[in-house]
Amino acid sequence: MAEVKKVKLRVPATTANMGPGFDSLGCALSLYNYFTFEKTENGVEILGCDDEYCTKENLAYQGYEAAMKYMGLPVGGVKITVESNIPICRGLGSSAAMIVAGAEAANVLNGKKMSPEDILAVCNDIEGHPDNLAPAIYGGMTVSMMDGRTPHTVSYILSPELHFCALIPDFETSTNDARKVLPKRVDYADALFNITRAGILLKALENGDIDLVCLGVEDKLHQPYRKKLIHEYDDVHNICKQQEGVAFFISGSGSTCMCISKEKNFADKLDGKFDGLTKNWKALQLSPDREGVKILEVV
Ligand code: HSE
């Protein structure tokens, strides 16, 4: 087999938690970052990111390096070009997309020695939770769990009748900060509240039962603590809930909020509704991505 010197790939944005599924549920969405990875003699060159991210701390490089080490290969030189469309630090899986791109690129450039499960495990060692990583790798809607340091993921069916609309403000939230506001212990009744809803939600998403999705998407484990980090959360929530049949949740750790509805163009219904707010909220209609990380070209 001819040696692969360069690979182009795309990785989808992802929404995680999806209400009651903290650190577990996730879904890939039709918004993509594009990457080219090219083997070079030595050193690391990164193009397409702000200067502060063009270092070995870059998550695409981190994913690449971790996968090379996992395969027992010298890391060597690499040139990485990034075309970034997923907004950073907004709860749409931009970090996961970068890490997955690096690990998958290393895999393709070196004879595809790693399975998707290997890629997930390597990426999770960097990210720390698999809920964005799994859909970025597999596509579709996934449920993940950790068994010690090993992630396990299953895929669920998502009804084609359901559509996503991301509400993206102009401010970032840090996942670290959003994890710090969570309590160390949860109330038994709150755990019960979430467990019962998570199971209902998955079936309702499969069946396209939007009324049950609206009920199942409720959460008591993270959103009550995090909404205070999201400026104008109550306003945006109220605007969306004035519409019929809209499930609303914080995407990942925010700042984006996500709606699920049966409206193909729910974003149009929100036209002008955020004009009185200050955080420049944009409604972006998205569909589920069913492919996950995708190789576009190898040279
Ligand atoms: N499950 C993670 C969290 C997603 O809510 O902290 C953010 O990356």
> Which domain CATH number covers 48?
3.30.230.10
Alpha-carbon distances, residue 256 vs 3, 27, 170, 226, 232 (angstroms): 41, 14, 9, 12, 11
In a domain, 194, yes or no: yes
pLDDT at 50: 87
Q: Residue 27 pLDDT > 90, yes or no?
A: yes
Does one domain contain both 104 and 221? Answer: no
Percent of the chain at pLDDT above 70?
100
**140: CB partners within 8 A, 6+ apart:** 27, 28, 155, 156, 157, 158, 288, 289, 290, 292
Does one domain contain both 117 and 188? Answer: no
Band of residue 3 on the pLDDT scale cut at 50, 70, 90: confident
| The total number of structural domains that make up the chain | 2
Ligand 1 center to 284 CA (angstroms): 21
Ligand 1 center to 24 CA (angstroms): 9
pLDDT at 120: 98
Rounded to an integer, what distance in angstroms lies between the CA atom of residue 176 and that of residue 110? Answer: 33
Does one domain contain both 151 and 241? Answer: no
pLDDT at 252: 98
In a domain, 129, yes or no: yes
242, amino acid identity? Q
CA angle, 162 as apex, 241 and 92 as ends, to 5°? Answer: 75
Alpha-carbon distances, residue 194 vs 17, 98, 221 (angstroms): 11, 30, 7
Please write the tens of the pLDDT for every residue from 30-69: 999 999 999 999 999 999 988 888 899 999 999 999 999 9
Ligand 1 center to 5 CA (angstroms): 34
In this structure, what token pair is assigned to residue 174?
Answer: 């840090």
In a domain, 118, yes or no: yes
Q: Residue 2 pLDDT > 80, yes or no?
A: no
Domain residues for the domain of 114 are: 6-157+289-298
Dihedral in degrees, nearest 10, Cα atoms 215, 220, 223, 225: 160
pTM for the whole structure: 0.96
Report the DSSP pairing between strands 282-286 and 44-47: unpaired
Does one domain contain both 182 and 170? Answer: yes
In a domain, 255, yes or no: yes
Does one domain contain both 16 and 73? Answer: yes
Strand order in the sheet with 282-286: 247-250, 257-261, 163-168, 282-286
Rounded mean pLDDT of the chain? 96
Can you tell me the mean pLDDT for 116-127? Answer: 98
Can you tell me the mean pLDDT for 84-107? Answer: 97
Ligand 1 center to 98 CA (angstroms): 16
Dihedral in degrees, nearest 10, Cα atoms 283, 260, 176, 118: -120
142: burial class by Cβ within 10 Å (0-12, 13-18, 19+)? buried
Please write the tens of the pLDDT for every residue from 128-153: 999 999 999 999 999 999 999 999 99
pLDDT at 297: 96
Does one domain contain both 123 and 177? Answer: no
Q: Residue 95 pLDDT > 80, yes or no?
A: yes
- Does 217 or 51 have the greater pLDDT score? 217
Does one domain contain both 149 and 233? Answer: no
Ligand 1 lined by 90 (C-beta under 6 Å): no
Does one domain contain both 281 and 293? Answer: no
Ligand 1 test: best mutation among 14, 15, 22, most atoms within 8 Å of CB?
22
Report the DSSP pairing between strands 294-298 and 6-16: antiparallel
In a domain, 1, yes or no: no
Does one domain contain both 184 and 263? Answer: yes
Does one domain contain both 15 and 141? Answer: yes
Ligand 1 test: best mutation among 129, 229, 258, most atoms within 8 Å of CB?
129
Q: Which of 135, 130, 136, 75 is nearest to 100 (CA)?
A: 136
pLDDT at 1: 64
